[in-house]
């Protein structure tokens, strides 16, 4: 036994595995309710504030995508994270343009593009590395002052601008709806996102292919899936309270 296999870490890995099984069962149930297969929903394990050992435990238990909010935290953990075949990181938090350069070749997707300025910088940095960056457009569906995301009415213009950046591929939309005391109260926001997603989906170009709708977190991912989510971002239900 190496130090890494201390019984404490094993217990933690088992806890994460159990939680993951429970989350997957909830995903399956919600997918069934909406007449879809659980395969149609990608689980992003949100690992912010959790140590690299927790990320690794989730990866060993079959998680394909983990999500981090902050560039600095992601870069700090990455050297200790063991990514297997087909496993990758997504950036899900607000991204400042001056950090794009540091993260561009570390993640498979940036879920939080909410301005032309940011899209332009991602395009520029991706071009320098000779890569193409998959992104989602983050929508401020609740119209909340303090939240990032593009206002729904500005989405068409942002999409049109993004379509002009050849080193960027817009794969869909992401949203963090307002926190609601009553779980059901969040449903209309998910529904509104789904409508936006459907309405703009036909607007295809070389750089725009809307197939991902990223919405739903620990408290509400079942409702998000019922309302058409294809990607849920789950932290607390897998790793416990932060």
Ligand X SMILES: *Cc1c(COP(=O)(O)O)cnc(C)c1O
Residues that bind ligand X (CB under 6 A): 46, 48, 69, 92-93, 176, 217-219, 233-237
Instruction: Name which of 50 and 162 has its Cβ closer to ligand X.
Output: 50
CB of 218 vs ligand X, minimal distance in Å: 3
CB of 1 vs ligand X, minimal distance in Å: 32
Report how far residue 90's alpha carbon sits from residue 69's, in angstroms, rounded to the nearest whole number: 9
| Helical segments of the chain, H only | 7-33, 52-60, 71-77, 100-103, 116-129, 155-162, 187-200, 221-226, 236-239
Fill in the DSSP letter of residue 3.
Answer: G
**Closest residue to ligand X using C-beta atoms:** 235
Instruction: Name which of 155 and 207 has its Cβ closer to ligand X.
Output: 155
Say how far residue 26 (Cα) sits from the centre of its chain.
18
CB of 94 vs ligand X, minimal distance in Å: 9
CB of 91 vs ligand X, minimal distance in Å: 10
Instruction: Name which of 60 and 179 has its Cβ closer to ligand X.
Output: 179
Instruction: Name which of 207 and 220 has its Cβ closer to ligand X.
Output: 220
CB of 125 vs ligand X, minimal distance in Å: 22
Nearest residue to 72 via CA among 45, 43, 53, 93: 93
Three-class secondary structure assignment of 35-77: CCCHHHCEEEEECCCCCHHHHHHHHHCCCCEEEECCHHHHHHH
Instruction: Name which of 207 and 215 has its Cβ closer to ligand X.
Output: 215
CB of 88 vs ligand X, minimal distance in Å: 16
CB of 65 vs ligand X, minimal distance in Å: 12
The answer to whether 141 and 149 are in contact (CB under 8 A) is yes
Instruction: Name which of 10 and 236 has its Cβ closer to ligand X.
Output: 236
Instruction: Name which of 170 and 217 has its Cβ closer to ligand X.
Output: 217
Say how far residue 89 (Cα) sits from the centre of its chain.
9
Residue 109: phi, psi to the nearest 5?
Answer: -155, 145
Pairing between β-strand 133-139 and β-strand 231-234 as defined by DSSP bridges? unpaired
Residue 228: phi, psi to the nearest 5?
Answer: 110, 5
């Amino acid at each position: 036994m190496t130090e890494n296999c201390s019984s404490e870490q094993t217990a933690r890995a088992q806890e994460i595995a159990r939680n993951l099984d429970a989350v997957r069962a909830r995903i399956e149930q919600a997918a069934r309710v909406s007449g879809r297969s659980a395969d149609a929903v990608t689980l992003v394990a949100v690992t912010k504030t959790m140590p690299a050992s927790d990320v690794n435990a989730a990866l060993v238990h079959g998680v394909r995508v983990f999500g981090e909010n902050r560039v600095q935290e992601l870069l700090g953990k990455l050297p200790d994270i063991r990514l297997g075949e087909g496993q990758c990181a997504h950036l899900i938090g607000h991204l400042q343009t001056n950090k794009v350069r540091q993260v561009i070749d570390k993640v498979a997707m940036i879920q939080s593009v909410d301005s032309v300025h940011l899209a332009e910088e991602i395009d520029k940095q991706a071009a320098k590395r000779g890569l193409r960056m998959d992104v989602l457009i983050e929508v401020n569906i609740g119209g909340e002052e303090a939240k990032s995301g593009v206002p729904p009415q500005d989405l068409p213009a942002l999409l049109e601008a993004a379509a002009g950046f050849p080193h960027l591929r817009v794969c869909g939309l992401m949203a963090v709806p307002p926190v609601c005391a009553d779980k059901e109260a969040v449903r209309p926001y998910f529904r509104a996102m789904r409508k936006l997603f459907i309405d703009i989906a036909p607007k295809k170009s070389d750089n725009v292919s809307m197939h991902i709708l990223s919405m739903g977190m620990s408290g509400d991912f079942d409702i998000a899936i019922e309302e058409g989510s294809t990607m849920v971002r789950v932290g607390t239900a897998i790793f416990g309270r932060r």
